[in-house]
Amino acid sequence: MPKTLVVDDDPDVETLLRGQLSGRQISDGFDFVFARSEAQALQILGSEKNIDIGLVVIDSQTISGMELFRHMKGGAPRIPRIALTSTNDLATIRRAMNNGAVDFLVKPI
């Protein structure tokens, strides 16, 4: 079962993902772990070795997604990272891609 680490301090993101997947067959095949801070994300990454992908907010006031991308870069195993942003700012998205994001999603997702 694929496990996704979602790093976002916006509680609506967790509510949205849990709400959209609850009661659907797709929820049986996926597992989500939520972190509301960089420190919590790093703790999860250090303790759980079975994270398959990371969805990381890059334009939060309290989470530095770009810095978290740098911490995740070159880790073993390598975890693909998707930048989550509430803006279409191409420069920010490009910077995230240069820091290791493989793709991006614009809120609301």
The phi, psi pair for 23, rounded to 5°, reads 80, 0
pLDDT (tens digit, 9 = 90+) per residue, 27-62?
456 788 999 999 999 899 888 878 889 999 998 888
Give the largest Cα separation in the chain, rounded.
38
Identify the pLDDT of residue 74: 62
Give the span between the Cα atoms of 92 and 74, in whole angstroms: 21
> Of all residues in the chain, what percent carry a pLDDT higher than 70?
85
Q: Print burial letters for 36-56: b (CB count within 10 Å at least 16), e (below 16).
A: bebeebeebbeeeeebeebbb
Q: Report the mean per-residue pLDDT for the chain.
A: 83
Mean pLDDT of all residues in 12-32: 70
pTM of the model: 0.84
